């Protein structure tokens, strides 16, 4: 058991800590938009939605801080 885990660890280290990718970019299919050529983290649709969520959350936080400071006055 320990030897098996050690072999797996050594293989992982030999690859620079990354798993090998067998498929080329053209064969990859995005889980978000289902188009070939990229993965979800590189998807322009995913990135846009992520930015919109981040902007919405930050604007909600700003409004909450503004209400809290105005109620203290």
Backbone angles phi, psi at 48, to 5 degrees: -65, -45
3-state secondary structure (DSSP) of residue 9: helix
Give domain status of residue 9, yes or no.
no
**Per-residue pLDDT band at 43 (split at 50, 70, 90):** very high
Q: The whole model's pTM is what? A: 0.52
Give domain status of residue 2, yes or no.
no
pLDDT (tens digit, 9 = 90+) per residue, 22-35?
A: 556 568 899 999 99
Give domain status of residue 7, yes or no.
no
Give domain status of residue 47, yes or no.
yes
Number of C-alpha atoms within 13 angstroms, CB side, residue 11?
8
Count of structural domains within the chain? 1
pLDDT (tens digit, 9 = 90+) per residue, 45-59?
A: 999 999 999 999 999
Domain range holding 55? 19-72
Give domain status of residue 68, yes or no.
yes
Give domain status of residue 25, yes or no.
yes
Handedness of CA 51, 43, 19, 14 (dihedral sign): negative
Give domain status of residue 23, yes or no.
yes
Give domain status of residue 10, yes or no.
no
């Amino acid at each position: 058991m320990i030897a098996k885990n050690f072999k797996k660890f050594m293989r992982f280290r030999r690859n620079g800590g990354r798993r090998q990718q067998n498929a080329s970019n053209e064969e990859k299919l995005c889980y978000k938009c289902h188009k070939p050529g990229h993965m979800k983290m590189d998807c322009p649709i995913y990135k846009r939605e992520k930015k919109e969520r981040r902007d919405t959350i930050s604007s909600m936080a700003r409004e909450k801080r503004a209400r809290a400071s105005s109620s203290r006055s």
